[in-house]
Structure 1
């Protein structure tokens, strides 16, 4: 036991005697000061402080006022403020704070505190400011957790709180000025007492699961001191009532991503101070209220993804303060007025997916816009040339899917900051201006499906910054320039459906980042350069319908290309193609008959005089035939010799193996079962002298059970490294060692960072074990659906990492083996995770060990995986291939994005997740599907991923993409370029 210091002893005595007999110069002051010290030390004892920020908090001190992050009231010397924001602290918020009776400010935001809060703060009657935002706190909020009579600022945002708010929570909240419950999992209707917070200036309830008709919270409109109201990303429904005129001081009104419907309130424009208005992603319809034109202070104006039907309002040009204008994805009609050029402060303009017509006002190209998206409308005419301010500011320009014609202005080469340029699906007729290659920051250039002519400029990649170059569907001619090798950052090159000629440049092999190469439907000739086989990152290639010949490159993706990527050429050598195989080799040497003399000379002259041409042909033909026959004979003899050698070697190996087994088994009596065979593929593994690992498989080591058997965690090396051993259920499994060995060794070759590696096996006629890598962090099923309250939910970055990694693993199984290895059972419990949340697919290819692969056998095996099984497994008329894995992968995406199971059973109904999401997307309620427990997420990643999942879960197998295409799409979505990526 340590020695008590004088201070510690005094502290302990005071504590034991409840401070009643402690003496000093100022008895009352001493008692109060030690109350604060005691409370803070107890509070600290529940905290983990990895960076020792609280080292100055010493129990021997008589006062905490000199401690870091502590402030005291100068009059009474009591602790009045604790500010520990962003210090990386974790642990619980203990009851020690209850001792701090004069505390006014407690701010713990941006840490990792966990657990529930209960009534911890209810006794702090002087507490005015409580900030617990962005921690890992959970549980429900009791009605008395904090003294509402004193609290002025309350921020619980960015946690995992759940449940409904007590209806009497705000019974007496007249002191409150700011309330934020954003980014949690609260649900149900808002408390009817909320309107009593009549002095509230800021109310943020965004990103929860609050629901109900807006009439239930109409009391909000009576809170006439509100300056900011954010109800976004919830499930509110119904119409928004009028009466916002009462919100005279309102500056921010965000209702986006709910289910609000009907017209906008007609008096919405009577809030003169409103500078941020966002009603996007709802079901609002009808015309835009005329009162909106009164909002002269409006800076942010978002109405996207609704059902507004009026003409584009001509008065928009009068809102001179606008910086952000987004009316995309509505049904607005009419044309754009040139008065839009009056919006000198405008930086972001998005009007895509409407029904706008006419020409694009030239005045728009005189602004200092950074981002302009007018895609998918009916604009016609020429592309305006633009001013110097436009050149200097513009970063993203999307004019795709219109009826624009004429030329691409050469002035576009002056857009120094341009990163994304999409002019696809128009009627542009010019050559590609070489100036486009001068963009120093251009990442995406998409000119697909126009009528562009001429050649591909050699300096198209002069800047070296291009990541995606898409020129498909034009009338480009001439060769692909060798300078294409300068596109060092390129990972997608698509030149299909043009009139390109010549050979494929070898310089493409210098594009080490290239993942997608599409050259189909051109007139390219010659052989595919063998150097392209060195492109390790290449995931998709299509060279079909050209004039190519010769052998494919031996490396990379080329050996695994399917017929659709190669067909329609003159003579590519591939067993997948029925056409001739043509090689660029010298013509056979034909001997000159005039060179022969002697006996043959007289015979030659007699026949030559009769038919010299026929004689010459017969000599040539017979020599060629002799060469061919000789080669064929040599090949046949070689095959026979090799076959005999193989049989001989195999018999010798079997003899040696049998002899060794006999020696090892000793004096085994006749009729006893043969000894087990343990095979380890990794020489670094050791059996620790254990000949039969089956003896290690006990109930205590069991960690899971699946459709193919039970899994155990077992140490199998001198260093104590653990492996997973799956004891296979023997029903319908291969029963012969040679067949079992052959299939398992194929699976053992499937090495990939996103696959659980197969380390070996153990075999007897009665028992088959598979030895695999052991994943330390468990499986996705546990992390997603079975986590405890103290474990934080998966973030979007980790969910995307799991999606992309799983896709890469499946792509490797499908495209690196012939025939492809099909998993048949993709689901969260078969996705294991390492410490960094990198996924590893387990149980892949085990269907290869079934004696029969009929669909009903496979379907019976996996019938427990409800929702994941592709429909073709139950339909005798549909061919089963790797597309059934794509279906299961699509369901996996839906689970990760929504946080819900594929099939959920209620009391009166059954919810099929894929159907639910599909209906929500069709109705424009896609945000209702996203799991908000993961916190903030980038919409430009989540929504395209969700749409990809719906494509993957198509009922028709041929409509689903391949896993290689899935990987490409995911990498395009993740590419750090503007959010238009989903249009690529």
Structure 2
């Protein structure tokens, strides 16, 4: 009872009382028991903490000073504790180290901790603390040496009171949501050795005076919003070993004083807007092990002084504007482990020194090195070789198999010719081989089976011929097999069914024949299996993945049958009776060779011939009658059109007016309603027709598209079949097709009516005074992506994506409309398509203009990319000025190169948008609008990327 009373008094007592000496109970025991009482301890880590003990010195996580027998350290890192940091700790007046890292503490940082006058270490990192860092916390903390609040949810500014902690040696506020500017007073904490404020929302210029931190060893301002130039006086920090200014908005050239940082081993300036040439003095930083200058605007040549960095392990200058070649002197960098010089303008011969070392990673993607691939000399230790997206030509070296330790070989998207050498089977350590998008010919070598650790094989878009080698089943770890767009022939090997790890298979656009192996249903990890545009035949496997396979993945194989292609397979019948007088007799004697004209007819053939003759006579008669009927019908239809086309009739009242079908229940047009040709009812016009608003007899408003492609439309049967398929498409981000109306002279499509209008109106109509918020815009981009992903999953390409074809629902939800209309045309002729969607200027993928490039769902991805940029910027894809034409895609790309992409965001949003979402969305839009279709992601990937970009709080809000 006495303990409980003291417990209550302790919880209510002011902080000043805690310093009093307790003669009955040990203050430390009491304080820790009170602290424990406010916690949840799911792992039972604090079970040894017993209130009956006279001292806590033997408790787990507790350390006492042997002289005073008082608690000097409390270290409970990684105990999975939950709850608040209780005031009970304030009784630990001799506490020097408080470390509660990597738990689940919540609430705010308790400012009363400042009353622990002896505290030198405060580590509350890796929790879920929120709120601001209190100013009072550091007003009486003159002895504190280490402060870490990393990996929490703290907000607000860095407190100015920190600048009075002159004993501070380490400060870590990384991975929070801190904002505001960096206090300039931090540069006067002369004992500071480590400063980490990375992964926050700090902004403004980096204040001058950093040279005062002559003991500074570690500096990280990574991933904030710092702007301006790098500190000119940073060279005064002579002991700096690690510098990270990456992923900010810094500009200008490298400060000359940096050449004094000869102790530096790690320098990362990635993802800024730094300019100028790489200075020769960079070779004086002789202790550098990592140099990352990627994703900036550096130009000029790589200086030969780089060769002085003999300790250099990682060299990354990718995504700049560097020219020339990599200097021969780099051969002196004996410790090199990784070189990435991709996405530059490097030229000349492939540096010969690369083949004299054993460097485990040499990605040189997207360079402009126009020389042939030469045979490697001594790359025996190479693990990763990426030469993709260049203009390499010539043959793949025949001795490529000598790279025995190679794990990834990517030479895709070049101009390589010739055969794939059989020596690739000697790549026993390779897990990924990518030779796609080249001009390779010959066959896939059977030796491929020797690459037993292979997980991914990509050979698409070449001129490979021959059969798929059965030896591929030896690659038992294979999960991705992409061989599309080649000239492969023969059957799909049955051995493929033994590759139990297969997830993605793409064999489309080849000349494969034969039937599909039935055992493919045993591939339990399959996610996609595309065999479209081949000559495969027979029944599709039944079971497993193939029960839900997309029709798009098996299309254009005329002889395939099964439920997935809506074609029943022919039944097996016994052999026909042979009616041949010259056939063998019952004794098996052969027919005489004296009868050259043999007659072999089955009973079924005789019946079929007779039936066909009868049917032919009937067809002739019916055709004559139909010609007369159609002539009368056309005259009748012409009369109806001239009278204003009143659609008050339905099949029930007057069948002459055509077939009116609603997919959900019956409905009719209202008698006497304004006709569709009334301009007052017109909602808009597009490449495929005019849209009107009307009302059905049940009072339901609908939007009706009167198709203007009557001369090109399919037959009634094909039209109705395609429309019914479109009517089955249901998704909350797609405009629902509710029905259709058919006559020989006119076709109507009936859609749900959305009164809020098109995305074009919401973005570009500035007369209403309303402006879409950033949250609304992001949801529109994400919703469009989800709708398109659903279409592509069901094998439907939109072909005509633009902001006028995206409608906004009453709740602000986007709905993509006008999808699949190209399926109503008799053939997907790109000239017809281009003429029908010519109003989509700026949205059309470049492959429409290239007759040799297949039009795929990637043309929708291009249109989506332009739409995403339109939503963020508020600008049209192409805008005509007085003296200039502005192409939106080019404008955003140029702004990104200049580090001014923020200025592209719609000015009406001003500062009311999330920069951490807006910039990635614009970058994603540019990637989707790539000129090369294979470089564009698919829409499922786009949805996943957008969901990653979306702020967690907003994503949670959508789930509620």
TM-score, length of structure 2 as denominator length: 0.64
SS in structure 1 of the partner of residue 321 of structure 2 = coil
Q: In structure 1, what is the Cα distance between the partners aligned to 2:414 and 2:796?
A: 42
SS in structure 2 of the partner of residue 508 of structure 1 = helix
Q: In structure 1, what is the Cα distance between the partners aligned to 2:167 and 2:511?
A: 77
Q: In structure 2, what is the Cα distance between the partners aligned to 1:407 and 1:953?
A: 31
SS in structure 2 of the partner of residue 267 of structure 1 = helix
TM-superposition CA deviations, 1:825-852 (whole Å, max 9, x none): xxxxxxxxxxxxxxxxxxxxxxxxxxxx
How far does residue 47 in structure 1 lie from its aligned partner after superposition? 1.6
* Contact 1:538 1:557 (C-alpha < 8 Å) held by counterparts: no
How far does residue 808 in structure 1 lie from its aligned partner after superposition? 11
Aligned pair 1:330/2:320, yes or no? yes
Of 624, 630, 636, which aligns to 2:605? Answer: 624
Q: In structure 1, what is the Cα distance between the partners aligned to 2:496 and 2:122?
A: 60
Q: In structure 1, what is the Cα distance between the partners aligned to 2:613 and 2:183?
A: 89
Of 319, 325, 328, which aligns to 2:309? Answer: 319
TM-superposition CA deviations, 1:279-333 (whole Å, max 9, x none): 1100001111222121001111100000101112111111111111111111111
SS in structure 1 of the partner of residue 137 of structure 2 = coil
How far does residue 247 in structure 1 lie from its aligned partner after superposition? 1.4
Q: In structure 2, what is the Cα distance between the partners aligned to 1:11 and 1:78?
A: 20
Change (3 A) 1:84 1:356: same
Of 453, 458, 463, which aligns to 1:475? Answer: 463
* Contact 2:386 2:410 (C-alpha < 8 Å) held by counterparts: yes
Q: CA RMSD in A?
A: 5.6
Structure 1: gaps (5+ residues): 22-26, 598-608, 634-729, 735-745, 751-802, 821-854, 895-900, 905-913, 930-938, 974-984
SS in structure 2 of the partner of residue 185 of structure 1 = coil
Change (3 A) 1:307 1:632: farther
Match for residue 289 of structure 2?
299
Match for residue 61 of structure 1?
53
Match for residue 253 of structure 1?
243
Q: In structure 1, what is the Cα distance between the partners aligned to 2:902 and 2:66?
A: 51
* Contact 1:362 1:386 (C-alpha < 8 Å) held by counterparts: no
Change (3 A) 1:578 1:319: same
Q: In structure 1, what is the Cα distance between the partners aligned to 2:542 and 2:10?
A: 83
How far does residue 236 in structure 1 lie from its aligned partner after superposition? 0.5
* Contact 1:890 1:950 (C-alpha < 8 Å) held by counterparts: no
TM-superposition CA deviations, 1:759-780 (whole Å, max 9, x none): xxxxxxxxxxxxxxxxxxxxxx
How far does residue 561 in structure 1 lie from its aligned partner after superposition? 4.2
Change (3 A) 1:511 1:810: farther
* Contact 2:547 2:564 (C-alpha < 8 Å) held by counterparts: no
Q: In structure 1, what is the Cα distance between the partners aligned to 2:482 and 2:176?
A: 44
Q: In structure 2, what is the Cα distance between the partners aligned to 1:436 and 1:290?
A: 41
Of 479, 483, 492, which aligns to 1:504? Answer: 492
Aligned pair 1:525/2:513, yes or no? yes
SS in structure 1 of the partner of residue 112 of structure 2 = coil
* Contact 1:406 1:430 (C-alpha < 8 Å) held by counterparts: yes
Match for residue 359 of structure 1?
349
Of 193, 200, 203, which aligns to 2:192? Answer: 200
Q: In structure 1, what is the Cα distance between the partners aligned to 2:496 and 2:785?
A: 26
Of 556, 566, 574, which aligns to 2:555? Answer: 566
Of 139, 145, 149, which aligns to 2:131? Answer: 139
For CA contacts below 8 A with separation 6 or more, give which structure has more relative contact order.
1
Aligned pair 1:495/2:487, yes or no? no
Of 427, 437, 441, which aligns to 1:449? Answer: 437
Q: In structure 2, what is the Cα distance between the partners aligned to 1:33 and 1:572?
A: 86
How far does residue 964 in structure 1 lie from its aligned partner after superposition? 6.6
Match for residue 391 of structure 1?
380
Aligned pair 1:423/2:414, yes or no? no
TM-superposition CA deviations, 1:388-441 (whole Å, max 9, x none): xx423x322101223434443454434444321101233444532333234333
Superposed, which structure 2 residues align to 1:687-766 within 5 Å?
A: none
How far does residue 85 in structure 1 lie from its aligned partner after superposition? 1.0
Q: In terms of mean alpha carbon deviation, does 344-353 or 414-423 score higher?
A: 414-423
Q: In structure 1, what is the Cα distance between the partners aligned to 2:266 and 2:195?
A: 15
SS in structure 2 of the partner of residue 340 of structure 1 = helix
Of 71, 80, 89, which aligns to 2:72? Answer: 80
* Contact 2:446 2:470 (C-alpha < 8 Å) held by counterparts: yes
TM-superposition CA deviations, 1:880-907 (whole Å, max 9, x none): xx999x99x999xx9xxxxxx9999xxx
TM-superposition CA deviations, 1:877-934 (whole Å, max 9, x none): 899xx999x99x999xx9xxxxxx9999xxxxxxxxx9999998676689999xxxxx
SS in structure 2 of the partner of residue 381 of structure 1 = coil
Change (3 A) 1:441 1:731: farther
Q: In structure 2, what is the Cα distance between the partners aligned to 1:440 and 1:344?
A: 26
Change (3 A) 1:13 1:269: closer
Match for residue 97 of structure 1?
89
SS in structure 1 of the partner of residue 203 of structure 2 = strand
Q: In structure 2, what is the Cα distance between the partners aligned to 1:628 and 1:945?
A: 65
Match for residue 635 of structure 2?
none
Q: In structure 1, what is the Cα distance between the partners aligned to 2:452 and 2:141?
A: 60
Q: In structure 2, what is the Cα distance between the partners aligned to 1:135 and 1:327?
A: 36
Change (3 A) 1:350 1:226: same
* Contact 2:491 2:512 (C-alpha < 8 Å) held by counterparts: yes
* Contact 2:210 2:231 (C-alpha < 8 Å) held by counterparts: no
Aligned pair 1:486/2:474, yes or no? yes
* Contact 1:239 1:262 (C-alpha < 8 Å) held by counterparts: yes
How far does residue 477 in structure 1 lie from its aligned partner after superposition? 2.7
Of 252, 260, 283, which aligns to 1:270? Answer: 260
Change (3 A) 1:515 1:943: farther
Change (3 A) 1:14 1:203: closer
Change (3 A) 1:460 1:407: same
Aligned pair 1:408/2:408, yes or no? no
How far does residue 194 in structure 1 lie from its aligned partner after superposition? 2.1
SS in structure 2 of the partner of residue 169 of structure 1 = helix
How far does residue 88 in structure 1 lie from its aligned partner after superposition? 1.2
* Contact 2:229 2:252 (C-alpha < 8 Å) held by counterparts: yes
How far does residue 10 in structure 1 lie from its aligned partner after superposition? 9.3
Match for residue 153 of structure 1?
146
How far does residue 456 in structure 1 lie from its aligned partner after superposition? 1.4
Change (3 A) 1:732 1:529: farther
Q: In structure 2, what is the Cα distance between the partners aligned to 1:192 and 1:158?
A: 23
SS in structure 2 of the partner of residue 145 of structure 1 = helix
Match for residue 684 of structure 2?
none
Q: In structure 2, what is the Cα distance between the partners aligned to 1:325 and 1:73?
A: 49
* Contact 2:10 2:88 (C-alpha < 8 Å) held by counterparts: no
Q: In terms of mean alpha carbon deviation, does 96-105 or 220-229 score higher?
A: 220-229
Q: In structure 2, what is the Cα distance between the partners aligned to 1:185 and 1:117?
A: 14
Q: In structure 2, what is the Cα distance between the partners aligned to 1:557 and 1:386?
A: 47
Q: In structure 1, what is the Cα distance between the partners aligned to 2:175 and 2:604?
A: 83
Q: In structure 2, what is the Cα distance between the partners aligned to 1:12 and 1:564?
A: 71
Structure 2: gaps (5+ residues): 586-593, 615-697, 703-724, 730-780, 798-803, 822-835, 841-855, 875-888, 905-915, 950-960
How far does residue 184 in structure 1 lie from its aligned partner after superposition? 0.4
Q: In structure 2, what is the Cα distance between the partners aligned to 1:431 and 1:62?
A: 82
TM-superposition CA deviations, 1:790-812 (whole Å, max 9, x none): xxxxxxxxxxxxx99x999997x
Q: In terms of mean alpha carbon deviation, does 262-271 or 430-439 score higher?
A: 430-439
Q: In structure 1, what is the Cα distance between the partners aligned to 2:945 and 2:308?
A: 41
* Contact 1:152 1:177 (C-alpha < 8 Å) held by counterparts: yes
Change (3 A) 1:457 1:946: farther
Q: In structure 2, what is the Cα distance between the partners aligned to 1:313 and 1:550?
A: 63
Match for residue 120 of structure 1?
112
How far does residue 122 in structure 1 lie from its aligned partner after superposition? 1.6
Change (3 A) 1:459 1:352: same
Of 341, 359, 364, which aligns to 1:374? Answer: 364
TM-score, length of structure 1 as denominator length: 0.62
